[in-house]
Amino acid sequence: MRIKVVVSVLSILLSSCSNFDIAEKKEKPIEYKYGYNIDQYIFEEKKIKSGDTFGDILEGVGIDYPEIYEALQKTKGRVNFKKLQIGKPYTLIFSKDTLRSLKAFVYHPSVEGYSFIQLKDSVFGETIVKPKSYKEMEASGIIDNSLYLTLEEQNMNPLLTYYLSDIYAWTIDFFRLEKGDRFKVIYTESFVDDTISVGISRIKAAYFLHRGNEQYAFEYETDSIKGIVEYLDQDAKNLRRAFLQSPIKFGRISSRYNLKRRIAYYGNRVKPHRGTDFAARIGTPILATADGFVTKSSYTRGNGNYVTIKHNNKYSTQYLHMKRRKVKSGQFVKQGQVIGWVGMTGYTSGPHVCYRFWKNGRQVDPFKQKLPEAKPISAKLKTAYFEAINDLKTQLDCISFESEIKFLTNSIVLSESDVK
């Protein structure tokens, strides 16, 4: 009797274990890459080398020219492999058999998508743009060296530097940021594959503490008909001014306006410097600091390539030592428009742009002038603006500065409609 009980118990246990094994033996899901079963094909990942062409790559793996030509004709307008960029990745997909024939070619010009062409049986091609996801991010930091380095050291998107410099281009001299200056920002960043950043979509709000002065910036649509979006401060004043602080986005001031400058080369004599020198790499774009008409686009032995712009009857600016000029005399230019590129033409010892500023016909230091502000928004729009930024300002004020961490980031996922 006892033996029967033991046998029964064992049979139940074995039956349970058998059932467990069956339950565990689930079929492995089939994985696909570019529409191909990864277990049935070979994927070779390579990078474009100097001199590589689409035809050369395919001929190198056994595809003859007539077949290549036919494939390109059938996929014309859908894919473009004329200009393959050196260093960009591509994938060759082969059959996993003795023939090892090429089935497809995939080119990745950017992380945002790829171009695909299928060969052999049924030729077709298409360019795939990956869907984007959006996250609202919060960041804050205490500047130790520069804004760019602060962001880079904390593994944050350094593109924030460019966006913030654009927003505060009229009010903050980014060449004079100081150790201890602070910033906060609420922005939307776009991603592909959920983790790969492909850019910043918008800056919703920002805060800068520079030399003890607080400067808020809130994104706001000031003209819904024309779709004009600008940045206003906490008092509804437009951050935009008649003049930009600098004719280049990034670089450094190598020499300031100085009427008492002495130069050793000239026997330590006083040689006034009536401009501000912005040092930058050769080829850096030079921007018009305000709207106006080009009155001179020329060359002299001392100035090199230079451009002079008359903004109105009161103000004029000049930009010297350009590598090349982009505008002509009589042409109207907008604020921020590229008028030339940094060079070393004329009397200069290094690449820079000498920026000169005239007020009422007299050369002055632009950094010591009280320049005109943008036209204020209407009283009606101002009321709506304060209501719109109320929650955003609270959110911005709640972002703390951590002296030990020096950088803080948070994020929430957004839908595409939230971004627009």
Print pLDDT tens along the chain (420 aa).
444 444 444 454 445 545 545 455 567 788 999 989 999 999 999 999 999 999 999 999 999 999 999 899 999 989 999 889 999 999 999 999 888 999 999 999 999 999 999 987 789 999 999 999 999 988 888 888 788 888 887 777 888 888 998 898 888 878 778 889 999 999 999 999 888 888 898 999 999 999 889 999 999 998 888 888 899 999 999 888 888 889 998 778 888 888 777 665 556 677 788 899 999 999 999 999 999 999 999 999 999 999 999 999 899 999 999 999 999 999 999 999 999 999 999 988 899 999 999 999 999 998 888 877 777 888 889 999 999 999 999 999 999 875 433 344 555 555 555 555
DSSP strand E in 269-375: where? 269-270, 276-279, 285-287, 292-300, 304-310, 315-325, 332-333, 338-342, 352-359, 362-363
pLDDT of the residue at 110? 92
Which pLDDT value is given to residue 23? Answer: 52
State residue 5's pLDDT score.
44
252-368, which class in CATH? mainly beta
Region class of 301: left (phi > 0), else alpha (psi between -120 and 50), else beta: alpha
CA angle 276, 282, 284 (to 5 degrees): 70
Q: For residue 144, how many other CB atoms are within 10 A of its CB?
A: 12
**Of the candidates 293, 295, 290, the residue with the CA atom closest to the CA atom of residue 306:** 295
pLDDT at 165: 86
Q: Which pLDDT does position 416 carry in this prediction? A: 57
Q: How many beta carbons lie within 10 A of that of residue 168, not counting itself? A: 20
Q: Are 48 and 100 in contact (CB under 8 A)?
A: no
Within the chain, which residue ranges are assigned CATH 3.10.450.350?
32-129, 133-241+374-419
Question: How far is Cα 136 from Cα 201, in angstroms, rounded to an integer?
Answer: 10
Question: DSSP class of residue 328?
Answer: -
Class of domain 133-241+374-419: alpha beta
The answer to whether the beta carbons of residues 252 and 175 sit under 8 Å apart is yes
Please report the pLDDT score of residue 267 as a whole number.
62
Q: Report strand pairing: 228-232 vs 269-270.
A: unpaired
Q: Which CATH number fits domain 32-129: 3.10.450.750, 1.10.10.60, 3.10.450.350, 1.10.3720.10?
A: 3.10.450.350
- As given in the structure block, the two tokens for residue 59 are 């001929």
d(CA 415, CA 232): 26
Per-residue pLDDT at 418: 58
Please answer whether residues 164 and 219 qualify as being in contact, where contact means their C-beta atoms are separated by less than 8 angstroms: no
pTM above the 0.85 mark? no
Closest CA to 116 of 80, 155, 161, 156: 80
Cα–Cα distance for residue pair 371/369, rounded to 1 Å? 6
